Amino acid sequence: MLKIAALVLAVAAVVFGARCVGIRKDLVTERQTIGADWSQVNNALERRTALTPVLTKIVMSELPNDITAGVETQAVTNACRDLQAAPGQHQKIQANARLDEALARLMLLVEAHPKIESSKQYGDVLEALKGAEYQIAVARRKYNEAVEHYNARLDGFPENLVSSVARLGKIDAYFQTAAP
């Protein structure tokens, strides 16, 4: 009877061990997916950042002596530089928020100058920026959903044990935007 109990216990341990190995593999795969999703976010941010020099050039060519235009275009340029130089996800998310604010202020300035708004070049850049914003929103949503799914999975048993042994902690870099 003791041999049967030991055999059952050994089989249960092997099954549980195999299950834990599978869980670890799945968690690592999910983290890789999250990394790929972040790359899509980063690419979308870079596409929008590449459009901002064109926008600032249009504004400065139309308002060369306007001090406010100079300040706002410099704020956009600085925010772009900070976003490009940001080393990690948290820093990129924060730098993106600053760029969003700087672009919003610049757009308010443009609204006060119908000549700029009515130009074809500005319209083209604005459409490209809208497309880039849409790509950012889609990539951000996909990334956040993957992070949320992964983090929720770590709350369950035996995933919580496997993740702590494998040192696969929660990811806290959600990409939120400011409320409109």
What pTM value is reported for the model?
A: 0.78
Average pLDDT over residues 106-116: 85
Task: Kindly report the CATH number assigned to the domain that includes residue 41.
Answer: 1.20.1440.20
| pLDDT, tens digit (0-9, with 9 covering 90-100), for 17-57 | 888 788 888 888 888 998 899 999 999 999 999 999 998 99
Question: SS3 letters for the chain?
Answer: CHHHHHHHHHHHHHHHHHHHHHHHHHHHHHHHHHHHHHHHHHHHHHHHHHHHHHHHHHHHHHCCCCHHHHHHHHHHHHHHHHHHHCCCHHHHHHHHHHHHHHHHHHHHHHHCCHHHHCCHHHHHHHHHHHHHHHHHHHHHHHHHHHHHHHHHHCCCCCHHHHHHHCCCCCCCCCCCCCCC
- Total domains present in the chain: 1
Give residue-wise pLDDT tens across range 119-141. 888 889 989 999 999 999 999 99
Whether residue 176 lies inside any domain: the answer is: no
Q: Is residue 170 part of a domain?
A: no
Q: Find out whether 139 and 40 touch, Cβ atoms under 8 Å.
A: yes
Enclosing domain of residue 35: 2-165
